[in-house]
Structure 1
Amino acid sequence: MSRAVRYRRFGGPEVLELQEIPEPHAAPDEVRVRVTAAGLNPMDWQITSRPDMAAGFGITLPAGFGSDFAGVVDEVGAEAAGFAVGDRVYGAAIGRSVADFVLIRPSAATLFPTPEGVGDEVAGTLPVSGLTACAALDAIGLRAGETVLIGGAAGGVGLFAVQLAKLAGARVLGTASEGTFGFLRGLGAEPVAYGPGLADRVRALAPEGITAAADLFGREAAEAALELGVAPERISVVADGPAPPPGVRKTGALAAGPGAMERIADAVRAGGITVPIAATYPVERIREAVATQAERHVHGKIVIAL
């Protein structure tokens, strides 16, 4: 037997159950990963609580939980290529990552070798947030010397977007609550409080103007950028949420370009991107971990240890 977090009805953290299930084994075209760490994302608890979002990912009840994971390959199917038993790996398995074992088809390109020097806790946070951040910045064609406004900059996706934008040579203004200003400065961003009057506060910080924006939470930063004269095609919003203003680019993790995951992992290994781990919970405390993550007040990523 093995363990997996599952739920039989939609709802909040209270629907999550740590269950004993038959131990899965790799099919001929699969590898089995013994999961050691699984990073949480907002989309995980949103899928759990929203039937419409779950349906968009092809998830039906009863269902597993989580997306990101890291661990070690411990079974390789006869037809699976590219990985061997004992390889450290990380990847994404939407709706099933918080479990002792994850089965993955290497041909699906959602499994990656963990770089030397990157721990499983960090590797297990990279795919969804990192790829979403890449897609948000790629959609606006961010270039060196530009000034970009990032909405929701202190969140799980924001911490990647801020650092990727800095690596690209941009000046970064990031919206956040005042309690996270120090955290954002540590990532290299200039913080600005969200809420009414955002455009005026951005104008005061950057009187010469901003050239692009990526809104990772809601639509406030996108609307402020339009008010400040940014062309709609230089503004991106993440896929979930209300429709963006006309011309604004809607994107998400699945839109990240080829090599994006490797680019993020290389930057982490080289120290260009730091991934703060706000808290690590044992899988037995999954409800508490999800409730904490859903409050959106953590500075960094929350990880489940298995």
Structure 2
Amino acid sequence: MRAYGFSEIGGPDKQTFLDVPVPAPGPDEVLVRVRAAAVNPGDWRVRNGSYGTAGPAVLGREVAGTVTALGPGVDGFAVGDEVFGGCPGMVGGWAEQALVTASFAAHRPESVTPEAAAALPVAAGTAYDALEQLGLPPGATLVVNGAGGGVGIPAVQLARARGLTVVGVASPAKHDLVAGLGAIPVAYGPGVLDRVRAAAPGGVDAVFDLAGGDALRTVAELVADRSRLFSVADRPVIAELGGRVVERDRSTAVLAELARLVAAGQLDPHISEVRPLDEAGEALALVESGHAEGKVVLRMPVD
């Protein structure tokens, strides 16, 4: 079958179309005919060797499609079901058919498009897990550091749906987007602590960081209780500061809840571009540049 990935560890010049065998599903796996697959920063990090995956390999971490085969012992799904979920090892989705982890898959409601469903497991799932682990009560104030990015956009929406006040730190170009999602936008850079404190005069209850580095070190000062400081962007710095990383759930229950929120109009995956598989290289370049606003999704050819 036709797929897109990389020939060996390296830069964009190592990306290529591949001719690979259709995989056979093992335990806790289903095989799906892919209808849509999302593009994530993790995809180019796989290609450059950050996650230890050697090439040649198919890229793609999350998909939506039609079940064509079940692995041994898998129940809850049947051939022909429309599903979405994460790929085993978080690779392999940019292909005509792909394996999906059964315990990290859910049925796709008819009212949720394949493109929207494919965009949920990684970014929206991470945001959901972070909010679950923070456990803030309605009325609490959350700072999302990087509110205009792939995880920040669902984080703001999910936090607002829980009744939280959200201060969204983002570049000025994304302030209209952040405000439209229901957050109070403030700009990065010198003086950010003063701007956040002015936006949240009652204080900040927690910080969810998606930027890392010095930006994380700066906003960490907003919370004295570092158990309320979460990051998915920089494990070394969050450990240095005494904060916490988000522990991913990766369960059917989480995906089903995210799909329900999309169907109810409480969560918009904010897909900014949908491109055919033929343009996978261009789609990944857009995400790797950091200039994508929202999610980029690949649509697979229809038989």
Superposition TM-score, scaled by structure 1 size: 0.90
Matches within 5 A, 1:234-249: 234-238=228-232, 240-244=234-238, 245-249=240-244
State how 1:5-154 maps to structure 2 within 5 Å.
5-26=4-25, 30-49=29-48, 51=49, 53-55=50-52, 59-77=53-71, 79-93=73-87, 94-104=90-100, 106=102, 109-154=103-148
Cα distance change on mapping 1:258 and 1:115 into 2, 3 Å: closer
Residue 158 (structure 1) shift: 0.7
Taking a change above 3 Å as real, the CA distance of residues 26 and 259 of structure 1, as seen in their structure-2 partners, is: closer
- The residue type equivalent to 1:290 in the other structure is L
Match of 2:268 among 271, 274, 278: 274
Indicate conservation of the 8 Å contact 2:85/2:255, yes or no. Answer: no
Give CA deviations for 1:79-123 in whole Å, capped at 9, x if unaligned.
Answer: 4322112110001111111111012453xx022111220000000
How far residue 188 of structure 1 moved from its aligned partner, in angstroms, is 1.0
After superposition, the Cα gap between the structure-2 partners of 1:220 and 1:116, relative to the gap in structure 1 and judged at 3 Å, is: farther
1:229–1:251 CA distance, 2 compared to 1 (3 A): closer
Could you say if the C-alpha distance between residues 126 and 258 of structure 1 is closer, same or farther in structure 2, counting changes exceeding 3 Å? closer
Closer, same or farther in 2 for the Cα pair 1:260/1:148, shift >3 Å? same
* Closer/same/farther in 2, CA of residues 264 and 230 from structure 1, 3 Å limit: farther
What CA deviation, in whole Å up to 9, does each residue of 1:202-241 have, x standing for no partner?
A: 1121222111110012145543443234411111011645
Describe the shift of the 1:81–1:259 C-alpha distance in structure 2 as closer, same or farther (beyond 3 A). Answer: closer
Is contact 1:4-1:19 (8 Å) kept? Answer: yes
1:289 CA drift (Å): 0.5
Q: What SS does the corresponding residue of 1:135 show, helix, strand or coil?
A: helix
Distance 1:220-1:117 versus aligned 2 partners, 3 A rule: farther
Q: Assess, with a 3 A threshold, how the Cα gap between structure 1 residues 162 and 230 changes in structure 2: closer, same or farther.
A: farther
Determine helix, strand or coil for the equivalent of 1:156.
coil
Give the CA deviation at 1:42: 1.1
Task: Write the distance in 1 (CA, Å) between the matches of 2:61 and 2:275.
Answer: 16
CA distance in 2 between counterparts of 1:233 and 1:7 reads: 39
Kindly tell me the number of residue pairs found equivalent between the two proteins. Answer: 297
Q: Structure 2 counterpart of 1:250, which letter?
A: V
Deviation at 1:70, TM superposition (A): 0.4
Summarize the Cα distance change of 1:206–1:257 in structure 2 as closer, same or farther, 3 Å threshold: farther
Q: Residue 170 of structure 2 corresponds to which residue in structure 1? A: 176
Match of 1:283 among 274, 277, 280: 277
Letter in 1 for 2:243: V
RMSD, aligned CA: 2.1
Unaligned runs of 5+ in 1: none
Q: Is the 8 A contact 1:213 1:222 kept in 2?
A: no
SS at match of 1:261: helix
Is 1:191 aligned to 2:185, yes or no?
yes
| Rounded Cα–Cα distance in structure 1 between residues aligned with 2:278 and 2:263 | 30
Aligned counterparts of 1:275 and 1:60: Cα–Cα separation in 2:
30
| Distance (whole Å) between structure 2 residues aligned to residue 83 and residue 228 of structure 1 | 46
Aligned to 1:4: 3
Cα distance in 2 for residues equivalent to 1:144 and 1:219: 30
> Quick check: 1:149–1:213 contact (8 Å CA) kept in 2?
yes
1:298 Cα deviation from its structure 2 partner: 2.1
Matches within 5 A, 1:201-220: 201-220=195-214
If the length of structure 2 is used for normalisation, what is the TM-score?
0.90
